[in-house]
Every structure is written in C-alpha cells, then in structure tokens.
C-alpha cells in the first residue's frame, strides 16, 4: 500500500439482516458526518449511502450476478470492464462526498463480497481501511431472510457462510474488530468504545456521552428472531452454529500482514501501516488465527505468502477444504448466473411489453366489491400484472382482505386477449411464515376451480391447466374457502401466456394423435378381448361336456342310491320283524322267569315240608334220596301245572315209600300216632287224594 495520508475509512462488513443498519445508526449518532448515511425521521432505522449502493447494484448486474447468489463472483471479476467502471464511479463518490472528512464510514452488506474492489479504491487514495465485522447468528439471519424474501433456511445459511467467509478474508492483514449483533443490542456503548480503542476511530462524541441516544436507538425489541427459540428440526444447521461460536468466543491475536508485526496485546490502536491489528469483542479464550477458520478465503494480495502449509497439517487440510469449497461455489455460480440472465431477459420483455399499447397482462379480481356483493367484480377492486410472452413467470399479489375469500371467490383473468395460457400452480400462502393455506398444483386441486368464458379449448391434466382463449373474457374462479385462517395472504401463480392460437393447432394435432393412439389401444384391446372370448368359449364348451358327463355319472349314482335305499327299506322291515320277535321272546322269557321263580318258591316250601316229614318219619338216606327225587319230580310236575291225576300218582308213590305204621315211633303217651298204613285208603287225606 502507498504511504497513507492519515485518512481512514470505517468499513462495516456484515451479512444482510445482520444488524448493519443498527450499527450504522450508532456510528451516525456519534458523529462521523451525514455523508456516511442518514436516519429516517423517527430515528429508529438507518439507511446507508444510497449512491454507493446503486453503484454496487449496477456492478453486480453488469457482472451478471445478484447479491443473493451463493456462488462466487466470476473469475477475475476485478479485472473486468464492469469493475473498472464501478471503481471510477465509486471513487468519484468518495472524492466528492467525503473530500473533507478525515474519517468516514461506508456501510453496505454487498461490500462483504466487493472488498477486493474497495481495497483498490482506498489504496489508490491512500486511505487506510478500518473494518468492523458484524456477525449475527446464522439461524436468525436465515429466518429473517425467509420472512423478508421467501428464501429457504438452507439458502439463508449458505448466504451467511459465503458473506462472512469473504468478509473475514478481507480482514486478513487489516485493522479490524468483530462485533456480534447480540452484543450491540446488549450494550451499544461498550461496543462503540471498542471500535474507538481497537481501531483508533475518533468520533465527534464520546460513546459514554451519547449513552441516552444510543440506548434510545438500539432497542432489544428490534430483534424479531432468536436462535434460542429454534425447533429441534433445525439442528441440521449445527455446523453453522459451530462457526458462529468461533466468531463469538475466540479472541485472536494481532494478525501479521505483509511486512507487518503483531499489534499491542493490550488492545490499543496501532498507527503503523499494515499493522493488521484485529480483535474479537467477547470473553477471553484460546487464541486463533483467521487462517485456521474453516473455508475462509484469502483476499487477493493480503495472504501471507511466506506460510509453509506443508509444515502444518491442520492448515494444509484447511487450505484443501477451502479450495474444494471454492470449486463448488464456482460451479454453482455458473448456474446462478444463467438464472440471473434469464430473469433479466424476462424483465426486459416485460418492460418492452409495458411500452406497447397491446400489453399482455393477467388481472386478479378480489371478491366482495365495495357494494358488498360477493359476486360483483370491479376494476377498482383488482390488480393487473404484466406478462412476458411465452415465458414462465411467477405472479405474486397481496390479498387486501383475506376474510372475503371465506364467502366469495377469487377471480383470475389469465390473459387479456386471444391467446394460449398454461398454469402450473396456484397458491395462497402466508408471506410472513411461508405456510401454504391453499394450493392447486395437480389435477385434484385444479378440478376445484371453475373455468368460464370464451375458452375454445380448456383442459386440466395432471400438472397444469391449459387454456386456448378466443376472446378476452376467460375467467378462473377459485373455490370458496370457509376454513381459511385469519392471516395475511398473498396469491402466487406460475403462468405462461402468449398471443395467438398458433399452439392450438399443435394441441389439436396432439389431441388427435392421442385419440389415434387411444383408438389403436382400443383396437388392440378389442382383438385381445376377442381372443380371450374365443378361448373362453372353448373353455365353456369343454366345461359343458364335462358337465354332461358329470350329470350322467350323477344319474347312475342316483339309481344306485335308489337301489340302496330300497334295500335299506327292506332290511329295515326285516329288522323290525326280528325286533318284534325278539320282543315276544323277551316277554316269554320274562313270563318263564316268573313261573320258574314261583316253582322254585313252591319247591322250597315242599322241600322244607319234606325235610320235616322225613325227620318225623325217620327216613334213611336212601329213602330220603328217593323221596327227594320224587319231590323234584313233583316240583317239575307242579311247575308245568300238570293234571291232578298225575299229581295224585306222585303222592301215591311217595306214600308207598313211607315206612309202615309199626316203625313209626310212639309218642310219650303211648299212642302209635294213628298213621295210615303202607297204602293210603280212599280219603286218606294226602294232597290230591279225592280232590280235583
């Protein structure tokens, strides 16, 4: 760098939505002059120098880039004609606006990526840069970008990373201090005093003397997003948290610049050119150099050329990862530049269409005209949006009164002339939170919409609505939404429209081709059905034959079954006869058993009587045995109920075996017993004698 002239440029580097406007307002409050920027009337916001911002925007546009690109700027962009033109115009602003200022401030988030150009501008004028790097938690920045611009959290985190890595690379070899947004909100006076002590900036007012104004300008309620309230799902961004914590807790030493020496560890300012003093505002922690931070790019001409990466494995790995990351960003930059170029062409087409009398546009009519009729639509209660012919574009329209959509229907006139329209998506969403309240992006959602008016051909396919309008009165009516939440809403439509019906012939031919294809498929299906029918008829014929054979077999089995049933009936009859005979035999057996029991009883009585008589008459054993035999015989006679004469014969035989009267013992009175003789005379009194 050329010999300095004692002038300093206080440069604020910080990612968008990181609080750079708050820091700029504090700087303006302490008095570096109005050229650094100006506040709004209520002193609650700060707007940086607009001329510089415009030149930054023009430079990015001429490079085919935008501030919200994640990829790197084009290779050797500082050597381009766009950069030379921007350097000349920005240098003129510095010369004119800050000509009499020994110290001035420049504040624009785009400077994080444009510092190589600014270093040339300042070096040419021998102005020494003093950098204040402002860092905010990456999730808070990403969430704010999501709400402000609709970016996803992943893109917001990547933007935070690339802006801060390039800003930190710009600090290498320079006087710098790193502040956090939370630190400014907590104690702006302390942070401003650190800028004074570390960078040697002389404000017109001491920070401690401007305490009321600083506290009034810096309010904690300015912070709408806090990393402490993150959902657990956002833990996927923990890598960015780690990098932020390195900014927050590490306090690096004074860094060596080209030909420089470490600064004073006490924190005092160093006036020697290129001293490269830097410090973090925060608690004491192990020292760390910028080169040790992951993925930090080296500002051209400011890297330590004498470092031997081979002697330090960690730094070699860091450099390797940085180069890989730069390669990825370079590839991504190519795709982003193509998208920017396409968007630029679309805007040029819109501008050209706006200058034509027959401009192509869509018109959105809001329900519930001032008269209160939900079905009335007026021009005053509508919004026109210019269309770039034959180009896909997104229409975004704020809904002034979303409550009307609960009872009325939003009307969309997609084209104002005869032409062709394709619509791939219609959405109602909450712009603050990005939540979708209603959407139609497939056949099911599009079918809920009514298409009215002079549409020669209209169709709803799986992914879009196609309209061929022969007039200017084609309308799409969204359905009523009684359950719509009471939130601010915006309408988003992805649409492609063009004049004329040139594509109608193509669409008609496409439909005819589809009809021909369907006809061919129908013929193939009919032929296949005929073949199937013939095969089925053959199968049916075979089944009929098998059914006839089965019927004959069943008839034979029926005859055999009838024969068996007849034989079973005969057998049953025979069994019944046998059963009757068995029952008769059972009755006879029962009767015989009864008679036998009666005979045994009579025999028992007769035997008892015989035994007593034998004892009385003194029968010997032989006579008793014969008599017993006679008794058994007589019992058989009795059991058969023999005639009386047979019974008399039995008793006579019995009587003949009795001993003579002389052998009968006398009783105690000398009587001979008076018994009968061997033959009993008529009327002797034996059983059966003289009795019938």
Q: What is the pLDDT of residues 628-684, one digit of tens each?
A: 666 665 555 555 555 666 666 766 666 666 554 444 444 444 444 444 444 444 443
pLDDT band for 688, please (50, 70, 90 cuts): very low
- Quick check: 370 pLDDT over 60? no
Q: How far apart are CA 17 and CA 144, in angstroms?
A: 7
Which range among 44-48, 244-248, 256-260, 620-624 shows the weakest confidence by mean pLDDT? 256-260
- The pLDDT of residue 592 is 87
Please enumerate in sequence order all residues whose Cβ is within 8 A of that of 316, keeping only pairs 6 or more positions apart, or say none.
309, 310
- Comparing 572 with 320, the larger pLDDT belongs to 572
- Quick check: 316 pLDDT over 70? no
Query: pLDDT tens digit string along 148-201?
Result: 777 888 888 999 999 998 898 888 888 999 898 988 888 899 999 999 998 988
Other C-beta atoms closer than 10 Å to the C-beta of 328 total 13
Q: What is the mean pLDDT of residues 605-627?
A: 70
Q: How far apart are CA 42 and CA 416, in angstroms?
A: 44
362 and 467 Cβ atoms separated by less than 8 Å: no
Helices (H) then strands (E): counts for the chain: 15, 18
Other C-beta atoms closer than 10 Å to the C-beta of 660 total 9
Q: What is the mean pLDDT of residues 268-282?
A: 37
- The pLDDT of residue 484 is 83
Q: How far apart are CA 399 and CA 428, in angstroms?
A: 9
- The pLDDT of residue 160 is 92
pLDDT band for 346, please (50, 70, 90 cuts): low
Q: What is the mean pLDDT of residues 196-217?
A: 87
CA separation, residue 418 to residues 363, 386, 442, 470, 498 (Å): 15, 16, 25, 5, 9
- Comparing 253 with 532, the larger pLDDT belongs to 532
Average pLDDT of the residues of the chain? 74
Strongest mean pLDDT among 140-149, 493-502, 541-550: 541-550
CA separation, residue 438 to residues 121, 406, 447, 481 (Å): 51, 12, 14, 9
- The pLDDT of residue 328 is 75
Q: How far apart are CA 451 and CA 441, in angstroms?
A: 16
- The pLDDT of residue 215 is 84
Other C-beta atoms closer than 10 Å to the C-beta of 420 total 22
Q: For the chain, what percent of residues have pLDDT higher than 70?
A: 65
Strongest mean pLDDT among 28-37, 359-368, 462-471, 567-576: 567-576
Q: How far apart are CA 171 and CA 68, in angstroms?
A: 22
- The pLDDT of residue 98 is 85
- Comparing 443 with 75, the larger pLDDT belongs to 75
- The pLDDT of residue 59 is 94
Three-class DSSP category at 282: coil
Q: Given strand 278-280, what is the order of strands in its sheet?
A: 103-107, 8-14, 128-135, 175-180, 278-280
- The pLDDT of residue 163 is 92
The CATH number of 10-226+236-258+288-329 is 3.40.50
- The pLDDT of residue 240 is 82
Q: How far apart are CA 213 and CA 156, in angstroms?
A: 33
Strongest mean pLDDT among 18-27, 288-297, 455-464: 18-27
Helices (H), 172-312: 181-186, 188-199, 211-217, 238-249
Q: What is the mean pLDDT of residues 326-348?
A: 72
Q: For the chain, what percent of residues have pLDDT higher than 90?
A: 12
pLDDT band for 393, please (50, 70, 90 cuts): confident
Nearest-10 Cα torsion for 147, 149, 150, 153: -70
Q: How far apart are CA 651 and CA 631, in angstroms?
A: 9
Q: What is the mean pLDDT of residues 252-271?
A: 32
Domain boundaries, the chain: 10-226+236-258+288-329, 361-500, 508-642
207 by Cβ neighbours in 10 Å (0-12 / 13-18 / 19+) ranks as buried
Q: How far apart are CA 108 and CA 56, in angstroms?
A: 9
pLDDT band for 114, please (50, 70, 90 cuts): very high
How many residues make up the chain in this entry?
692
Q: How far apart are CA 407 and CA 95, in angstroms?
A: 61
Entry pTM? 0.53
CA separation, residue 497 to residues 414, 417, 420, 502, 635 (Å): 8, 10, 6, 12, 136
Query: pLDDT tens digit string along 505-557?
Result: 666 667 677 788 888 889 889 999 888 888 888 889 989 999 989 999 999 89
pLDDT band for 136, please (50, 70, 90 cuts): very high
Strongest mean pLDDT among 165-169, 291-295, 499-503, 666-670: 165-169
- The pLDDT of residue 680 is 40
Bridging pattern class, strands 475-477 and 411-413: antiparallel
Q: What angle in degrees, to the nearest 10, is found between the helix axes of 81-97 and 50-62?
A: 170
393 and 467 Cβ atoms separated by less than 8 Å: no
- Comparing 479 with 48, the larger pLDDT belongs to 479
Q: How far apart are CA 228 and CA 222, in angstroms?
A: 16
Give the DSSP H/E element, type plus range, for residue 617: helix 502-617
């Amino acid at each position: 760098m050329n010999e300095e002239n004692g002038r300093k440029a206080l440069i604020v580097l910080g990612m968008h939505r990181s609080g750079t406007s708050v820091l700029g307002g504090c700087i303006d409050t302490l008095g570096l002059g109005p050229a650094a920027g100006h506040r709004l009337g209520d002193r609650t916001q700060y707007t940086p120098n607009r001329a510089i911002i415009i030149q930054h925007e023009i430079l990015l546009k001429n490079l085919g880039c935008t501030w919200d690109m994640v990829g790197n700027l084009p290779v050797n962009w500082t050597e381009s004609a766009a950069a030379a033109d921007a350097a000349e115009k920005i240098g003129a602003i510095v010369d004119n606006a800050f000509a009499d200022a020994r110290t001035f401030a420049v504040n624009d988030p785009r400077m994080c990526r444009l510092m190589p150009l600014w270093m040339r501008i300042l070096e040419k004028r021998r102005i020494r840069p003093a950098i204040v790097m402002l860092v905010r938690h990456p999730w808070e920045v990403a969430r704010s970008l999501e709400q402000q611009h609709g970016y996803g959290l992943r893109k917001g985190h990547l933007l935070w990373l690339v802006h801060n890595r390039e800003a930190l690379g710009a600090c290498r070899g320079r006087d710098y201090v790193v502040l956090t947004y939370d630190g400014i909100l907590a104690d702006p006076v302390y942070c401003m005093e650190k800028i004074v002590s570390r960078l040697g900036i002389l404000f017109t007012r001491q920070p401690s003397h401007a305490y009321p104004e600083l506290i009034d300008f810096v309010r904690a309620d300015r912070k709408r997003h806090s990393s402490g309230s993150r959902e657990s799902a956002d833990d996927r961004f923990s890598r960015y948290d780690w990098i932020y914590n390195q900014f927050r807790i590490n306090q690096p030493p004074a860094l060596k610049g080209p030909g420089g020496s470490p600064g004073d560890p006490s924190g005092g300012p160093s006036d020697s050119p290129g001293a490269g003093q830097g410090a973090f505002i925060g608690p004491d922690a192990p020292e760390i150099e910028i080169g040790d931070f992951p993925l930090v790019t080296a500002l051209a001409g400011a890297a330590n050329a004498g470092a031997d990466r081979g002697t330090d494995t960690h730094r070699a790995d860091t450099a390797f990862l940085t180069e890989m990351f730069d390669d990825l960003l370079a590839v991504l930059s190519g795709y982003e530049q193509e998208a920017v170029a396409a968007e630029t062409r679309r805007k040029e087409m819109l501008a050209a269409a706006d200058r034509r009398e027959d401009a192509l546009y869509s018109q959105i009519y809001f329900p519930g005209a001032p008269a209160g009729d939900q079905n009335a639509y007026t021009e005053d209660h509508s919004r026109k949006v210019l269309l770039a012919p034959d180009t896909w574009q997104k229409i975004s329209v704020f809904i002034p009164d979303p409550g009307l959509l609960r009872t009325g229907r939003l009307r969309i006139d997609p084209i104002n002339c005869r032409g062709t329209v394709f619509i791939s998506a219609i959405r109602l969403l909450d712009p603050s939170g990005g939540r979708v309240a209603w959407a139609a992006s497939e056949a099911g959602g599009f079918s809920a919409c009514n298409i009215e008016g002079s549409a020669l051909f209209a169709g709803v396919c799986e992914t879009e609505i196609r309209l061929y309008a022969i007039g200017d009165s084609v309308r799409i009516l969204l359905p009523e939404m009684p359950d719509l939440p009471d939130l601010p809403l915006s309408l988003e439509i992805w649409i492609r429209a063009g004049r004329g019906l040139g594509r109608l012939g193509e669409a008609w031919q496409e439909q005819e081709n589809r009809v021909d294809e369907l006809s061919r498929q129908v013929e193939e299906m009919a032929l296949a059905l005929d073949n199937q029918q013939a095969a089925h008829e053959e199968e049916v014929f075979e089944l009929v034959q098998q059914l006839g054979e089965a019927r004959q077999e069943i008839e034979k089995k029926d005859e055999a079954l009838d024969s068996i049933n007849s034989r079973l009936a005969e057998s049953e009859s025979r069994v019944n006869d046998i059963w009757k005979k068995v029952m008769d035999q059972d009755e006879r057996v029962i009767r015989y058993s009864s008679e036998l029991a009666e005979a045994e009883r009579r025999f028992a009585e007769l035997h008892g009587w015989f035994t007593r008589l034998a004892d009385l008459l003194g029968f010997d054993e032989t006579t008793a045995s014969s008599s017993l035999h006679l008794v058994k015989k007589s019992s058989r006679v009795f059991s058969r109920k023999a005639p009386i004469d047979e019974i008399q014969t039995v008793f006579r035989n019995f009587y003949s075996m009795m001993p003579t009267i002389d052998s009968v013992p006398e009783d105690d009175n000398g009587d001979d017993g008076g018994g009968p003789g061997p033959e009993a005379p008529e009327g002797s009194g034996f059983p059966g004698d003289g009795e019938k």
